[in-house]
Amino acid sequence: MKRASMLLVGAGPMATAYAKVLQALDIPFSVVGRDPLSADTFEKEVGVKPDQGGLQEWLKKGGQADRAIVVVPEGLLGEVSLQLLESDVRSILIEKPGGSTFEDVERIAKISHAKKVDVSVGYNRRFYTSVRKAHQLIADDGGVSSFHFEFTELGYKLEKKTTLTPFLAEAWFFHNSTHVIDMAFYLGGEPERIQGFMTGSTSYRNTASKYAGAGITQTGAVFSYHSNWAAPGRWNVEILTPKNRYIFRPLEKLQVQKLGTMAIEEIPIEDELDVKFKPGVYRQVEAFLKGDHTILPTIHDQVKALSTYREIEKSNFTNAL
């Protein structure tokens, strides 16, 4: 079997989004999938036929790759990534949050360090045009003075989600909510201290339904957060500087409230890549190919973030698959 320069593990909708970017960048790739229906859909949309049977079988048949992007169901992220680390792959991009559980992330980081494999975590919202623009404006304003974020999930939709397994329901905070939390701390700064509170439950999830908390970053910016999965809401990030309040609602758009005014105005952004491709993925893949971690977090960055996620979540779930 010919060695693949790029291996895409997974053939679902997110894998399709990555494949379209790789094609646009003229990067040849091989695909490994498991589900025949997903493989057929992938082939129709992308024009590349996945090798079915899963990664383990592909490796047993002598498959090898220099680089890999892992885009598999949430409960398999850790297992598949660990399988890749046992091959001689040089670099891996794992879809957020970098593993199925907190323990997976820690295990992957430890093994990747020992094997000297560059492992990145795919938080594509860091690469939104809105976020890139705000990062520049915040620096021009003199930095962040405070910020607030909300990671309310749409409970009424989750209840009807046909693929919501018991494991994924309990792990939804880690696998989905951390998208907005990662973005908030990327813009606002790494937390120095944080105190969180959580309570409640839902019909589909025992862990919690309501969250609130606050803290201070390493640079002295104060922050707060809120989330209520049993009430109306949406993701939201607001970054305050000495001159402006930058509002991401939705996260793909950037609005501003200027000092001394009550008006909220939309800031024009050149977001052609976020319209043509899944938002943020094009620039994220570019960073992965270059090994550029200026924005793209490593698995070791994610390990550092786990203490914050544990404080907000107030639980340390394990893979119950």
The CATH number of residue 243's host domain is 3.30.360.10
Flag whether 321 is in a domain. no
For residues 174 and 85, membership in a common domain is answered with no
Q: Say which residue the tokens 């859909």 belong to.
A: 41
Determine, yes or no, domain membership for 281. Answer: no
Do 147 and 224 lie in one domain? The reply is yes
Residue 92, beta-bridge partner list = 68, 119
Q: Which residue, chain included where needed, has tokens 């998208």?
A: 179
- Which range is least confidently modeled, 100-109, 192-201, 220-229, 285-294? 192-201
Pair (120, 134) in one structural domain: no
Point out the domain boundary residue: 124, 147, 169.
124
Q: Which of 94, 21, 9, 74 is nearest to 278 (CA)?
A: 21
> Is 207 a member of any domain?
yes
* 119 and 164 within one domain: no
Mean pLDDT rounded to a whole number for the chain: 94
192-203 b/e (C-beta count within 10 Å ≥ 16 → b): eebebebeeebe
Give 127's Cβ-side CA count (13 Å radius).
Answer: 26
Strand order through the sheet with 222-228: 191-199, 210-217, 222-228, 146-150, 236-240, 244-248, 255-258, 265-266
**pLDDT above 70 as % of the chain:** 98
Between 314 and 166, the more confident residue is 166
Q: Is pLDDT at 19 greater than 70 in this prediction?
A: yes
DSSP strands (E only) in 189-231? 191-199, 210-217, 222-228
Rounded to whole angstroms, how far apart are CA atoms 293 and 91?
Answer: 13
Say whether both 143 and 241 belong to one domain.
Answer: yes
172 with 246, same domain: the answer is yes
Looking at the structure, tell me whether residues 207 and 304 fall in a common domain: yes
Residues 34 and 19 reside in one and the same domain: yes
Domain boundary among 94, 124, 154: 124
Q: Which of 95, 124, 153 is the last residue of a domain?
A: 124
Q: Which residues contact 193 (CB under 8 A, 6 or more apart)?
A: 215, 216
- Does some domain include residue 208? yes
Rounded-to-integer distance, Cα 158 and Cα 137, Å: 36
Q: How far, in whole angstroms, is CA 237 from its chain's centroid?
A: 16
Q: Tell me the CA distances in angstroms from 11 to 1, 55, 131, 161, one per residue in order.
A: 20, 12, 28, 20
Residues 152 and 113 in one domain: no
Q: Can you give the residue range of the structural domain that contains 250?
A: 126-271+300-313
DSSP label at 298?
A: B
Q: What is the mean pLDDT of residues 218-245?
A: 96
Alpha helices (H) along 36-165: 36-46, 55-60, 77-85, 102-115, 129-141, 155-158
Nearest to 257 by CA among 248, 265, 267: 265
pLDDT in tens, 130-146: 999 999 999 999 999 99
Residues 33 and 86 in one domain: yes
**What's this model's pTM, rounded to 2 decimal places?**
0.94
* Residue 282 resides in a domain: no
3-state secondary structure 78-96: HHHHHHHHCCCCCEEEEEC
Position 51 in a domain: yes
Tokens of 103: 């323990």
Our count of domains for the chain comes to 2
Query: What span, in angstroms and rounded, lies between the C-alpha atoms of 77 and 96?
Result: 9
- Taking a C-beta distance cutoff of 8 angstroms, is the pair 91, 115 a contact? no
d(CA 207, CA 313): 8
**Beta pairing class for 191-199 and 236-240:** unpaired
Quick one: pLDDT at residue 319?
A: 41
What was the pLDDT predicted at 153?
94
Domain holding 50: CATH number?
3.40.50.720
Inside any domain, residue 280: no
Domain identity same for 305 and 180:
yes
Question: Which range, of 118-122, 130-134, 233-237, 317-321, averages the lowest pLDDT?
Answer: 317-321
291 is a domain residue: no
Are 78 and 157 part of one and the same domain?
A: no
